[in-house]
A and B are shown apart, each in its own frame.
Chain A
Amino acid sequence: MTLRTASEGISFARELETRLGAFYGAIGERWPEVRDVLAPFAAGSAKCIADVQRAYYGVITDAIEGGFCFELEPTDYPAADPSALPEDVEEAVAQAAVAEESICRFYEDAAEQSRGLLADMPRIFDRIVLRRRAALAELKAFAAKKEA
């Protein structure tokens, strides 16, 4: 079902982040040799949740368009699945990168649609995308090194 309200959008962001954080955790459990490398990524997800919630609870007022700020399809942003790890670690890291891309897209679209409607929220989304894109580059570099 199309996400339209701020509350739905924030809950969906939380779900994407939680699943990705758990996915990193599951990779680390299964392949302990990459645990330390992936730990900051899992922590990054937790920080994003905190940032988004802090911004939402800090700026939400009855006067902004909280009920009418998004038209987002959840299926456009597939989440990581911590219960379905692939056979090898390279593939797992590649899947994490795909999920990171998906979350970035979600935040970009959410920022674009809510600009001017949700006060400070789009700025937070933009900032998260910047941070995540940098992390994604690191993840891809790590994946490339692993494959080599």
Chain B
Amino acid sequence: MAILEAPIQEPKHIRNYIGGEWVESSGEHREVVNPATGGTIAHAPQSTDEEVGRAVQAATEAFPAWRQTPPVARARLLFRLKELMEEAFERASRIQTQEHGKTIDESRGESRRGIENVEVSCGVPSLMQGAYAQDVASGIDEWLAPTPLGVYGVIAPFNFPWMIPLWSAPYAVATGNCVVVKPSDEVPLSQDLVAELVEEAGFPPGVWNVVHGGASSASALLDHPDVVGITFVGSTPIGRDVIYKRCGETGKRVIAQCGAKNFLTVMPDCDIDRTIAAMMTSFFGNAGQRCLAAANCVVVGDDRFYKDFVGRVVDRTSRIRLGYGLDESVQMGPLRDAGKKANVVRYIDAGIREGAKLLLDGREPALVGDYPDTCFLGPTIFEGVDPGSTIGAEEIFGPVMSVMRAADLDEALRITNRNPYGNGHSIFTQDGRAAREFAYNVESGNVGINIGITAPMAFFPFGGMKDSFFGVLHTQGADAIRFFTESKVVIQRWF
């Protein structure tokens, strides 16, 4: 199969998009490297606090007029944005592969998921409707008007450079707020493209801003007094100890979607072939770098089932093609950078040290094509993993499957619920009773029944519980509409 043409041929010099203008940053510019080829694809700025402040100011100035723009007019701009995103679909997807490393199928999937959020936000004239009660007392009426609040900050991670900011930003602007999006400095190109499309769609200056940078830029957003709320997706230590805490201190609304350790329970009555196909995507898709990736596989069943099942999983996994995601035959790409690979390798070493049995070692992977192995790590499988051990309990964020056994569903649930995270647990079974039992009792914000990646559609909130989520409302769907609006209640009497 041919390798698809890469849209970024020369390193792009990234600028901020502030107040409808493309603005040069005076901050240091860092190289952005394609993790598969090692080639430089961009130079992205570490924006200064002053530049972040300028973006917030532009958003603040745009807010009064934008708030007064009728929701139906705001929706029409979002429809236009959606149309432009559809036109740019393939370009956007290939850029994701270039900057992140994921396969082209994964990137297209990410593009679609992102666009779906813009689609849902186009329904804002209906979604934002309030409530009205006549005669709450004699001659007195009362109503609720969802009201935008001002400027929101969107702090995004590296693993879904296109989609994750779109879990928030379209809803924020649909409801009449203005946003400052800060993409991960490791993957700036996707949101740079989004900014281009926002400009082309014709959003008024200042409504949708994109400022590039790292932790310092995120801090500037967090501390800015004119920012009324933050959405964050990233690790639990940062989400809980920095984002959630600082938002509390500064009186901001917050959605902090954090880390995970997802358990996938396999019952002996599952459809084995389809379960294994789903597991490949769940454990190794996006090279394991997603908060909904399965990490622990809990197998219920006797020795015979266990041996047969695990043997087939190892066989299928060992045939995964690893390489550059623009090669259509590739099933798994590299990790985002060498540091992330080193971190996952440390976990593999810890697994060996702590006595788990290595069934498949990805540390010296064979690649499709001639690429530097700097960021590549093959799929790795351990069995006999103690759920309380390092690899059994901690988030690895890489292509490592830890297999463990449970005598029955109750034990599988106990093992799963003992873990502090609660993001996306799944069960594979053909037994409705077991499926119900699992869905009812598992402590997880997103639950899969014969689904490996429990990603909710855009019109549902993206769940998360326990150490995987800090806040009250979630991104996406009706939760996002509520997060981005204040429920203003008016009570009225005329004399």
> Could you list which residues of chain A lie within 8 angstroms of chain B, going by C-beta atoms?
1, 3-8, 11, 56-69, 116-117
Complex CA–CA separation, A70 to B411 (angstroms): 34
Complex CA–CA separation, A117 to B450 (angstroms): 11
Task: Report yes or no: B105 in contact with A63, Cβ–Cβ below 8 A.
Answer: no
Determine how close the nearest CB of chain A comes to the CB of B308; give it in whole angstroms. Answer: 19
Determine how close the nearest CB of chain A comes to the CB of B75; give it in whole angstroms. Answer: 21
Task: Report yes or no: A67 in contact with B113, Cβ–Cβ below 8 A.
Answer: no
CB < 8 Å neighbour of B1 from A8, A60, A64: A8
Task: Report yes or no: A63 in contact with B109, Cβ–Cβ below 8 A.
Answer: yes
Complex CA–CA separation, A68 to B283 (angstroms): 12
Complex CA–CA separation, A3 to B105 (angstroms): 13
B325-362 interface code vs A (CB 8 A; 1 in, 0 out)? 00011111000000000000000000000000000000
Give chain A residues whose Cβ lies under 8 Å from the Cβ of B104. 5, 7
Given A4-B321, A67-B103, check contact A62 B109 (CB 8 Å): yes
Task: Report yes or no: B278 in contact with A65, Cβ–Cβ below 8 A.
Answer: yes
Interface size class of B (residues with CB under 8 A): 35 or more
Task: Report yes or no: B274 in contact with A67, Cβ–Cβ below 8 A.
Answer: no
> Is B296 interfacial (CB-CB < 8 Å)?
no
Residue of A3, A6, A67, A68 most packed against chain B (CB within 10 A): A67
> Is B286 interfacial (CB-CB < 8 Å)?
yes
CB < 8 Å neighbour of B108 from A60, A68, A117: A60
Residue of A1, A3, A6, A61 most packed against chain B (CB within 10 A): A61
Complex CA–CA separation, A117 to B452 (angstroms): 11
Task: Report yes or no: A67 in contact with B455, Cβ–Cβ below 8 A.
Answer: no
Task: Report yes or no: B281 in contact with A64, Cβ–Cβ below 8 A.
Answer: yes
30 contacts between A and B (CB under 8 A): A5-B103, A5-B328, A5-B330, A5-B331, A6-B105, A7-B105, A57-B108, A57-B112, A60-B105, A61-B455, A62-B109, A62-B110, A62-B163, A63-B109, A63-B113, A63-B452, A63-B454, A64-B109, A65-B277, A65-B280, A65-B452, A66-B105, A66-B106, A66-B108, A66-B109, A67-B103, A67-B281, A67-B331, A68-B281, A69-B277
CB closest residue in chain B, given A74? B1
Task: Report yes or no: A4 in contact with B331, Cβ–Cβ below 8 A.
Answer: yes
CB closest residue in chain A, given B102? A62
Task: Report yes or no: A63 in contact with B277, Cβ–Cβ below 8 A.
Answer: no
Determine how close the nearest CB of chain A comes to the CB of B242; give it in whole angstroms. Answer: 27
Task: Report yes or no: A4 in contact with B332, Cβ–Cβ below 8 A.
Answer: no
> Is B18 interfacial (CB-CB < 8 Å)?
no
> Is B285 interfacial (CB-CB < 8 Å)?
yes
Task: Report yes or no: B113 in contact with A61, Cβ–Cβ below 8 A.
Answer: yes
Given A61-B455, A62-B113, A62-B286, check contact A7 B108 (CB 8 Å): yes
